[in-house]
Amino acid sequence: MVEPGHGADVRQRLAQASSRAREAGLDALLITPGPDLRYLAGYEAVPLERLTCLVVPGEGEPVLVAPLLERAAAAATPLAAAGVDIITWDETDDPYRVVADLVPRARRIGLDDHMWAAKVLRLRSAMPDAEQHPAGPVLSALRMRKSDEEVQALARAGAAIDAVHAQVPDLLRVGRTEREVGRDIAALILEAGHVSVDFVIVASGPHGASPHHEVSDRVLAPGDAIVVDIGGTMPDGYCSDETRTYALGDPGRDYLDAYAALQRAQSEAVAAVRPGITCADVDAVARQLLEDAGLGHYFIHRTGHGIGLETHEEPYIVSGNGLRLEAGMAFSIEPGFYIDGRWGARIEDIVVCGDEGAVLMNHRPRELMVIDEV
């Protein structure tokens, strides 16, 4: 896996997490199954009611606490090669007490952002003197700066979803329903090498005005503009996400003019990406161009989101975010416009901030693809 595949990778990431925890004034990080555990340990643990928890102290050695019946699975991960101790608990044991006893003097602990509320509350009971804080600010600082291997993984994901979009025009026909098209796209996502289908949006006609519409039984009609936003997860755990907009025949001059403005806004926002620029300033490039075209009121979401082991993660390309981009940060650039009762459009590429500008992970044409009404 591109998440740490070797003991040395795990040791490095755990050391970085421990160091950043200390800098943040946290005595320990407690990480349960989810993307943070995958990132730090290469362990895709199954989320269960039974507690699995990676304990990363600010001072001292990390330890994995896991159910006895999960020991073999845990031992098969890079954690074992990294020399991380695995402490198991039996059905009648209290695993929360086991975790508390590993960091008995902890007064400020960071909990991973995906931890179930039930586990948060039980840890609070087991560690009543410890303040609980989100670990996200600590771990996102690591996860949003992609290594060369991670960038290669995102490029593979981008190529796979490009291959799906290349086949979408063959699926869009007058008389088919969004649901039928979505079903076929989902099959193509798996055929392209993904191990899971994370989402399929086929938003035709007025449904295009809802950014997260997904699919319905609406029948595609002549002149429809159709927003197709799709993504999945690859075998190495990294995600794809790409939006293109299609039209069944002529959607009309008003739509074509609006789409041309959107294409300029997306292109200029991509061109603005470089180390040192803020996320807010990239957002502003796309937003101002749509404002100038009279479409600013209809651009109702941020310009982009980070991507990696999750489809949505840091950094977020949005007004007010003063974070400065650095080489290795990966995120979408996806302005759109959405007019209730009429139509919508969105163009989305995944980009990585390189030393000299944006490196595109998606390479499908961005022009509106007009399909003959067949």
pTM above 0.75, yes or no: yes
* Topology of the domain comprising 148-371: Creatine Amidinohydrolase (3.90.230)
- Segment 2-10 mean pLDDT: 65
Domain ranges of the chain: 7-143, 148-371
What pLDDT score does 1 carry? 45
Q: Give 261-302 pLDDT, tens digit per residue.
A: 999 999 999 999 999 999 999 999 999 999 999 999 999 999
How confident is the model over 37-58, as pLDDT tens digits? 999 999 999 899 999 999 999 9
Q: What are phi and psi of 371, to 5 degrees?
A: -105, 135
pLDDT in tens, 62-101: 999 999 999 999 999 999 889 999 999 999 999 999 999 9
Average pLDDT over residues 324-345: 98
C-beta neighbour count of 231 within 10 angstroms: 26
Structure tokens at 252: 């009309």
Q: Return the residue matching tokens 């996400």.
A: 241
Average pLDDT, the chain: 96
- pLDDT at residue 28 is higher than 60: yes
Options 3.30.1360.120, 3.40.50.2300, 3.40.50.720, 3.40.350.10; CATH of 7-143: 3.40.350.10
What pLDDT was estimated at residue 11?
Answer: 93
> Mean pLDDT across the stretch 224-247?
98
Sheet-wide strand order for 242-248: 196-204, 225-233, 242-248, 369-371
